[in-house]
Amino acid sequence: MNRFEGHGVLITGAGRGIGAAVAHRLAAEGAHVLITDIDVASAEKVAGEIREQGAVARAFFCDVGDRAAVEAAVAHAVEEFGRLDVLVNNAYACHPDADLFEDEDDEAWARDLDLSLTGAYRCCKAALPHLVASGRGAVVNIGSVNGVQDFGNHAYSAAKAGLISLTRTLAGHAGPRGVRVNLVAPGTVRTRAWSERGRNPDAVRELYPLGRVGEPADIAAAVAFLASRDAAWVTGAVLPVDGGITAVNTGFRRTAP
């Protein structure tokens, strides 16, 4: 399939994990992809991998906490590709919870909200005129099951819940202008973020009705659907890609008398 032939795409936080998988998936379907990240070396590595497959990819620095950096990234995408059709807001921050809520650090809380929620706001604001001009614009936000249920991480969860609300309100605003806005809510996904914290995501696989944790490619497939014309009549949607964990309490079912 080449559902994104000739599409210009910008993905934030795409130097690794879910963002990198999304970049590979959309590029494989014909997209011209701008891979943005604060870690430019990682972004360059992903872009190089995609170019080796014969697709078009560029890397660019973007700190979603900096409005000027966001605007520069959007402008660069339009300059490189001649248009911007798809924005994928994947960048985030997530600090560990304090043992007691009252001991939460205000600066860490503010950073999680700024990068995970306000960062997406900045990107949407900068990209929207170009998405409108494309005539087929789409925004896909990467949320989390944390925005729907309690899985810990107070600030991150609040930010992802806010991102769900932003998705819906922006869908209502942008829909009449021809731009669709949707959100993918992943459950536990096997990324480097787990190993960096010394944790094994497979430790929770039995909590999932489908018996495994997610892979970045699972999320990328959902993003590709929502960004494509296959989802032409879908906007304001929250799509759980979570192995069923928000639908079925497997742990309770297994232990209940």
Yes or no: say if 120 and 163 are a contact pair by the CB < 8 Å rule: yes
Catalytic status, residue 208: no
Out of 92, 121, 156, 208, the active site residue is 156
Q: Tokens representing 108?
A: 């860490």
Compute the distance between CA of residue 62 and CA of residue 55 in angstroms, rounded to an integer: 22
How far are the Cα atoms of 40, 63, 122, 195, 252 from residue 67, in angstroms, in the given order? 18, 8, 6, 31, 45
Query: How many C-beta atoms surround the C-beta of residue 87 within 10 A?
Result: 28
Yes or no: say if 146 and 106 are a contact pair by the CB < 8 Å rule: no
Compute the distance between CA of residue 90 and CA of residue 33 in angstroms, rounded to an integer: 14
Q: What is the dihedral of CA 182, 183, 184, 188, to 10 degrees?
A: 180
Q: Which of 4, 52, 48 is nearest to 25 (CA)?
A: 4
DSSP state of 98: P
Phi, psi dihedral angles at 62 (to 5 degrees): -155, 120
Residues labelled catalytic = 156
